[in-house]
Chains A and B, each alone.
Chain A
Amino acid sequence: MPGLTPASLSAEAPPAAAAAPVETRRKARFSPWHESWRRFRRHKLAVASGVVLLLIVAAIIIGPLLWRLPINEIDFTAKLQGPSWAHPLGTDDLGQDVLARLLYGGRISLAVGLAAMLVAITVGVLVGALAGMSSGHLDAVLMWLADLFLSLPQLPLLLLLIYLFRDALKTAFGPEGGVFVLIVVVIGGLRWMPAARLVRAQFLSLREKEFVEAARALGASKPRQVIRHILPNALGPVIVAGTIDVAAAIIAESTLSFLGLGFPPDIPTWGRLLADAKDYLDIAPHWALAAGAAIFLTVLSINFIGDGLRDALDPRSVI
């Protein structure tokens, strides 16, 4: 009976397979954040930028501890020197070490960038959430306000605000703290509008979603619906806007310092380094180049990270 052989063979095969139940279910949780991280990693430029930014951050945090040259010691015998072993990035017109000043200035520039971003995002999320949840008159007024702020010429307004409030804040928080608070609030306070509009748009669509309705039907109060159910779903675009805000705030701070309206001259920030260097561009280009490159690299890498995040956090994109 040759015809029976294949049948008996195939009849024996399945129990063997079933005997060892395939328990290879991965332990990893497929949370939306894991999924986003997986997609972010595929964005080569963003990952490279992340590494660059991490190096910059590490350098400005650890750097001043290792490179212990003073930032404010004037030595006219060593002024405007090019790069050397003693001064890898050369010296400025007062004989101060550019590398030491760059590392220290990075702390302030990045701190301003981050703090201004936090101010912008916080105000933006609050205004956007309020507008998105209220609809009607309050929504109209808030969005009208956002449009108003968007149409104001930013730089003259920055200058005016700093001129008006600098002295008051200096007496309140000390010369450095006062300027820091002023710059952060002014830069952040003039950049909340994009975040507010993003958040409002997200809220308008999210608050009609069934899961919000379901949460409401099962007894979630309004604040709980907003904070627990709507906000986390609206965060993706806000995070992206945040990275762009960091970069923009660093540039804004550099602009202010370049115009001499930022921190006092004895505190080196990247913008001030650039401003001081501009008069010696022809005899000591290394000075301006160092400061310019630091701003350029930082802002560029933050923008690339923002690009990568935008792709990674957008559920519609398939990478």
Chain B
Amino acid sequence: MAETLLDIRGLKTWFKTDDGMVRAVDGVDLHIDRGETVGVVGESGCGKTVTARSVLKLIDMPPGRFEAGQILWQGRDLIPLDQDEMNKIRAREIAIVFQEPMTSLNPVYTVGDQIAEVIALHQKLNRKQAMDGAAEMLRLVNIPNAQRRVHDYPHQFSGGMRQRVMIAMALSCQPKLLIADEPTTALDVTIQAQILELMQEMKERFGMAILLITHAMGVVAETCQRVTVMYAGKVVEEAPVKALFGDPRHPYTQGLIRSIPRVDRAARHKERLEAIPGTVPSLLEPPPGCRFAARCRYVSEICVRDMPPLKEVGPGHYVRCVL
């Protein structure tokens, strides 16, 4: 049994708004072992990003607040820590890469300055050593002419290159866990593949774990060992990647998998892409019962009445459904 790095237990991150409490994350359990890649999938607005940001405590409080739960990082709960203590964990132990590479770099500094800043912040190094470290990181993420490119400004890099720089920055202190929040969503398909490959390569090199947040099922199938499917702030299914794609049990997961575009079928049979009807429900005072009930094709009376518990249906395969 591998060592558990991160263990999120019953996390509830709620946001106070004028209309009431928005239950963005409503009792999420998630764990990542050392060196593992775990995917979190779901539609926009299902709480993936809030879960990720909660781990690093990047949620603005107020309006956000941790209603309940624990975030255990190597056995230590992060929730009571203040920002100063979190700053010792950020980048050094847990790093994050955001979705938008075009705007995630500060336009007034060279990329080398920005990577060196992170290095100097966490390791007692002088400027020269930090800059050397920055150049080395750029080389590792396969940026050609790294030694010279450290002196370039973000606007001189393309989107894919900037995402490489962001990854270099996130990995510059060799974190044990990299949270990638939709790292490829803003990039075109060929670049996406390169970035995923790079992350895989870096993972092997540094032996870190990856929490990959995405809405692209294809990306998950390619890179993850375990997948957690979220819907409206709840985990609805959790399984090893093979079990999830081979035997999806929750109607929502089945819908997500059916809605993956298949270019070959679309061209040959003029098949229309299947979509899940309806939209994600409001997270404001959600009704009792299954959150997916309103969109589920198998809905029955019991679904609307009670929230189904997460039950084990196979080895490491859990599903929150009465079926």
Contact = CB atoms under 8 A, between A and B. Distances in A.
Contacts of B95: 217-218
A313 to B, nearest CB: 12
Given A219-B121, A232-B108, A32 B153 contact: yes
Contacts of A229: 106
A217 B87 contact: no
A210 B86 CA distance: 19
A219 B118 contact: yes
- Considering the complex of A and B, which 5 residue pairs feature the smallest CB-CB distances, nearest first? A219-B90, A218-B91, A210-B103, A219-B87, A211-B106
A264 B231 CA distance: 77
Given A31-B153, A219-B122, A233-B106, A210 B100 contact: yes
A217 B170 CA distance: 9
Contact of A210 (B56, B104, B151, B155): B104
Interface string A213-225: 1111111111010
Interface in B110-134: 110, 117-118, 121-122
Interface in B65-110: 83-84, 86-92, 95-96, 98, 100, 103-110
Interface of A: 29-32, 209-211, 213-222, 224, 228-229, 232-233
A231 to B, nearest CB: 10
A208 to B, nearest CB: 10
A110 to B, nearest CB: 30
B153 A30 contact: yes
A29 B90 contact: no
A233 B122 contact: no
B150 to A, nearest CB: 11
A233 B166 CA distance: 19
A218 B96 CA distance: 7
B44 interface: no
Contact of A218 (B83, B100, B153, B169): B169
B58 A217 contact: yes
A300 B169 CA distance: 47
23 contacts: A30-B156, A31-B110, A32-B108, A210-B100, A210-B104, A211-B103, A211-B105, A213-B98, A215-B106, A216-B58, A216-B90, A217-B58, A217-B95, A217-B98, A218-B90, A218-B95, A218-B170, A219-B88, A219-B121, A219-B122, A221-B83, A222-B83, A232-B106
A31 B58 CA distance: 31
B170 to A, nearest CB: 7
A211 B56 CA distance: 16
Nearest to B181: A217
B103 A209 contact: yes
Q: Which of B86, B108, B110, B155 has the most CB of A within 10 A?
A: B108
B117 A217 contact: no
Contacts of B110: 29, 31
A229 B103 CA distance: 13
Given A211-B104, A222-B83, A232-B108, A217 B153 contact: no
Contacts of A29: 110, 151-153
Given A211-B104, A213-B104, A217-B96, 9 more contacts: A30-B152, A31-B110, A32-B108, A210-B103, A213-B98, A217-B58, A217-B91, A218-B90, A233-B108
Contact of B98 (A30, A32, A214, A220): A214
Given A30-B153, A32-B153, A210-B98, A218 B106 contact: no
A218 to B, nearest CB: 4
Contacts of B86: 219
A192 to B, nearest CB: 24
B108 A217 contact: no
A215 B108 CA distance: 14
Contacts of A220: 87, 117, 121
A221 B90 contact: no
A65 to B, nearest CB: 40
Interface string B144-168: 0000000111011000000000100
Given A30-B156, A215-B106, A221-B83, A228 B117 contact: yes
Contacts of A221: 83-84, 87
B153 A214 contact: no
A233 B105 CA distance: 12
A32 B109 CA distance: 9
Contacts of A232: 106, 108-109
Contacts of B155: 30
A211 B98 CA distance: 10
A87 B187 CA distance: 73
A217 B90 contact: yes
A76 B307 CA distance: 103
Nearest to A218: B91
Nearest to B121: A219
B100 A32 contact: no
Nearest to A31: B153
Contacts of A215: 106, 117
Contacts of A218: 90-91, 95-96, 118, 121, 169-170
A229 B87 CA distance: 16
A32 B92 contact: no
